[in-house]
């Protein structure tokens, strides 16, 4: 039997260590590369609330409690039956300014902690509405454009892995994530006053990018990983390799069709009941993904590997429905309450190979599920009526949870609004604050036990002109 001296064994270990690390690193590269080819994540990351909501500064100022009010052209997005309350033709538009702040924290990865911000502004709503009378029934048609979902996000952070014993191998990652895009729809609407106290309305949402806007979102994720052995986090260590992976992900050509079907019932002079159903549909999306991996070992040539995917993706959008009750205490003072539910358990994505994933988490539907969310919104409006003008004061509060792994995440908020009405011209503005504390923060970072305190600020202005 051959025995090695302690000094020779020590020299042999030092000589073998780089070879062993290199072998493990090469195996890791091949595994990661194969994983990128076989397991392309499919998830939808929205910056604004993912729950279906309508538009308009008046509605936003009332906390979004508008299903049973819905008395302007934005009714097509809240409850199309409310369109029958319009007595004159009108043109309207709304413009929104959106800001999001994420304050990340993690006990297991404190280096990920920090504040991330994103902001955007865009045309939120545009419509033209024309009321008329036919067969002794009040009717109305309108053509509407609505921006429904925002995707603007930016995150820059670092992640350090725990040392892998006995070689004491550690990874230090720098992650840069950016995303932009929006989903919009062209929406013709029709409403009819069935009886003087009961109306029905229909909005036909045509989701397309064949007109004057794009429909989809684009993200770019860059992860630079530096692999060390020998205690990098303690100030020493040997650099084994550097891997830089860039994932360019583009979902475009989002197209589909669904409807908003609503009713409005004036129970008496004080109470109005409204309801709306937004039907589920399957959207067709073109998906393009390009993953580039660059690997460099000290003293070696750069290794470059590329994965490209071009495929058609199906996204199952969920059913949602709600009821609203408005109470008119007088011609000046109105309050309203909405309860709204979205069936997120049906929010699924199917890639070009037939793999189905939970579109909230990006995990296989067999391993992940999301429950329904229920929104509750309460708002009010008081009118100061002067000889030539009307000045409203509005406010509202709401509970607006987001879908997540298993249980929804709690989000709360409030809103304030005002405006002025002069003859046939109406101007409204509103501010909305929405927040969630200790909500799930690993949607983007893929780091477990990461929480985030989220703040969202929405400022909206809108104008209506009657003619």
Element (H, E) at 300: none
Q: Judge whether 98 lies within some domain.
A: yes
In degrees, rounded to 5, the angle at the alpha carbon of residue 425 between the alpha carbons of residues 90 and 125 is 55
pLDDT range class, residue 9, cuts 50, 70, 90: very low
Question: Helix, strand, or coil here: 95?
Answer: strand
Q: Judge whether 4 lies within some domain.
A: no
Q: Judge whether 105 lies within some domain.
A: yes
Note the pLDDT tens digit of each residue in 444-454: 545 555 788 99
The residue-averaged pLDDT of 232-240 equals 65
pLDDT, residue 362, reads 81
Note the pLDDT tens digit of each residue in 126-177: 999 999 998 889 999 999 999 999 888 888 888 877 666 666 778 888 889 8
Domain count, the chain: 1
Query: Which residue segment(s) compose the domain that 53 sits in?
Result: 40-466
Q: Judge whether 77 lies within some domain.
A: yes
Q: Judge whether 26 lies within some domain.
A: no
CATH code of the domain containing 431: 2.40.160.60
Give pairs for 303-306: CB < 8 Å, separation 24+. 303/29, 305/29, 305/33
Q: Judge whether 34 lies within some domain.
A: no
Which residue's structure tokens are 């009750």? Answer: 325
pTM of the model: 0.85
The least confident of 14-23, 143-152, 265-274, 310-319 is 14-23
pLDDT range class, residue 401, cuts 50, 70, 90: very high
Q: Judge whether 303 lies within some domain.
A: yes
Give pairs for 363-367: CB < 8 Å, separation 24+. 363/405
Q: Which two tokens stand for residue 267?
A: 């129970």
Q: How many residues does the chain have?
A: 467
The residue-averaged pLDDT of 291-304 equals 91
Q: Judge whether 236 lies within some domain.
A: yes
Note the pLDDT tens digit of each residue in 326-375: 999 999 999 999 999 999 999 999 988 898 988 888 888 888 888 899 99
């Amino acid at each position: 039997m051959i025995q090695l001296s302690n000094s020779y064994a020590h020299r042999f270990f030092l000589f073998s260590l780089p070879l062993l690390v290199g072998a493990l690193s090469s195996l890791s590269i091949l595994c990661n590369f194969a994983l990128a080819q076989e397991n392309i994540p499919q998830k939808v990351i929205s910056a604004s609330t993912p729950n279906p909501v309508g538009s308009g500064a008046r509605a936003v100022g009332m906390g979004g409690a508008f299903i049973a009010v819905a008395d302007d052209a934005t009714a097509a997005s809240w409850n199309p039956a409310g369109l029958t309350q319009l007595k004159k033709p009108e043109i309207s538009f709304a413009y929104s300014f959106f800001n999001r702040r994420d304050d990340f924290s993690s006990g297991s990865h404190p280096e990920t902690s920090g504040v991330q911000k994103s902001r955007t502004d865009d045309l939120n709503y545009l419509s033209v509405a024309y009321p008329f009378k036919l067969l002794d029934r009040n009717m109305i048609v309108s053509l509407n454009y609505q921006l429904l979902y925002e995707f603007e996000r930016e995150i820059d952070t670092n992640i350090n892995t725990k040392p892998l014993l006995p070689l004491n191998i550690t990874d230090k990652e720098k992650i840069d994530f950016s995303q932009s895009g929006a989903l919009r729809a062209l929406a013709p609407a029709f409403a009819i006053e069935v009886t003087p106290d009961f109306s029905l309305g229909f909005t036909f949402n045509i989701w397309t990018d064949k007109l004057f806007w794009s429909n989809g979102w684009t993200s770019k994720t860059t992860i630079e990983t530096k692999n060390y052995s020998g205690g990098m986090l303690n100030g020493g260590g040997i650099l084994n390799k550097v891997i830089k992976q860039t994932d360019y992900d583009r979902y475009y050509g989002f197209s589909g069709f669904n409807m908003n079907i609503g009713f409005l019932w004036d129970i008496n002079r004080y109470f109005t009941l409204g309801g709306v159903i937004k039907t589920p549909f399957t959207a067709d999306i073109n998906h393009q993904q390009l993953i580039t991996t660059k690997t460099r070992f000290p003293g070696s040539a750069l290794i470059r590997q590329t994965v490209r995917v071009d495929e058609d993706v199906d996204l199952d959008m969920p059913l949602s429905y709600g009821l609203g009750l408005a109470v008119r205490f007088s011609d000046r003072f109105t309050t309203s309450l909405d309860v709204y539910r979205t069936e997120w358990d049906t929010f699924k994505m199917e890639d070009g190979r037939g793999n189905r994933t939970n579109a909230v988490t990006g995990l296989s539907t067999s391993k992940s599920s999301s429950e329904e969310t229920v929104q509750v919104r309460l708002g009010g409006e008081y009118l100061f009526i002067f000889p030539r003008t009307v000045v409203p004061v509005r406010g509202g509060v709401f509970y607006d949870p987001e879908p997540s792994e298993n249980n929804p995440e709690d989000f709360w908020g409030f809103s304030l609004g005002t405006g002025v009405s002069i003859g046939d011209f109406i101007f409204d503005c509103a501010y909305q604050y929405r927040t969630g504390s200790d909500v799930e923060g690993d949607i983007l970072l893929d780091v477990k036990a990461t929480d985030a305190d989220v703040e969202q600020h929405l400022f909206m202005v809108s104008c209506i002109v009657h003619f």
